[in-house]
A = this chain, B = another copy of it.
Amino acid sequence: MVLHYPNGRKYQGNTNVKKEEKKLNKQNSYSNRGMTLEEDLNETNLYYRTHNIAVIHKKPIPIQIVNVDYPSRSAAVIKEAYFRQASTTDYNGVWNGKYIDFEAKETRSNSSFPLSNFHEHQIEHMKSVVQQGGITFVILRFATTDEIFLLEGKILFFYWERMMNGGRKSIKKDEIIQNGHQIPYGLHPRIDYIKKIQELNLL
């Protein structure tokens, strides 16, 4: 029996179903197990681009280049460089005329999502995006249970402020379940966050 949400969407949240899916995926060349969240999102964004659904890219890793070697007749080689802290989020682009901006993080914790995954700069950036009328959110993955949630910027800001005011340094999983939106894994695309945004009618 296939259960459907009132909106006609297939019910996919059941743990047994997920376990079955996992088993299937192990035997399946389409498997996304073993994939990182980043790989899943890159595949999703590629799907969006090739199907003209959205144009969203992961930004390159910010690097401070110190020393570059220019061997004759071959490509320049960076010999010394350092990772810099990102001042923005990792993903951005355009969907349906709207600006999309998000960060994706995962945790091994089962009970909460540590806010140390985000930096002050990123939160400030996301607030500026909201101010300019963009859509911003985070995609959170609980790695041990392989659950994905979309949490709107304004909700993240709430928990960030709570921490800044001396409150807990993480968001409880219960709070994420209550105030976030689970995104079921799919095959193509793997993490259909645009569909979720559409359903939520953000903005």
Contact call B88/A78, Cβ cutoff below 8 A:
no
A49 to B121, CA, bound (A): 13
Contact call A57/B88, Cβ cutoff below 8 A:
yes
Contact call B75/A83, Cβ cutoff below 8 A:
yes
Residues of B within 8 A of A62 (CB): 60
Known: A59-B59, A98-B99, A129-B94. A78 touches B81 (CB 8 A): yes
**A167 in contact (CB, < 8 A):** no
How many copies of this kind of chain does the complex include?
2
Interface residues of A (CB under 8 A from B): 49, 52, 54-55, 57, 59-63, 65, 75-83, 87-88, 92-99, 101, 125, 128-129, 131-134
List 29 A-B residue pairs with CB atoms under 8 Å apart, sorted by A's residue number: A52-B128, A54-B132, A55-B129, A55-B131, A57-B87, A57-B88, A59-B60, A60-B62, A60-B63, A61-B63, A63-B78, A75-B82, A75-B83, A76-B82, A76-B83, A77-B82, A78-B81, A78-B83, A79-B79, A92-B92, A93-B99, A94-B129, A94-B132, A94-B133, A96-B133, A97-B99, A97-B134, A98-B133, A99-B99
Smallest distance from the beta carbon of A202 to chain B beta carbons, Å? 12
Residues of B within 8 A of A93 (CB): 92, 99
Contact call B99/A94, Cβ cutoff below 8 A:
yes
Contact call A97/B133, Cβ cutoff below 8 A:
yes
Residues of B within 8 A of A80 (CB): 77-79
Contact call A128/B76, Cβ cutoff below 8 A:
no
Contact call B134/A55, Cβ cutoff below 8 A:
yes
Smallest distance from the beta carbon of A85 to chain B beta carbons, Å? 11
Smallest distance from the beta carbon of A103 to chain B beta carbons, Å? 14
A92 to B81, CA, bound (A): 25
Pick the contact of A132 from B57, B75, B95, B133 — CB < 8 Å? B95
Smallest distance from the beta carbon of A40 to chain B beta carbons, Å? 19
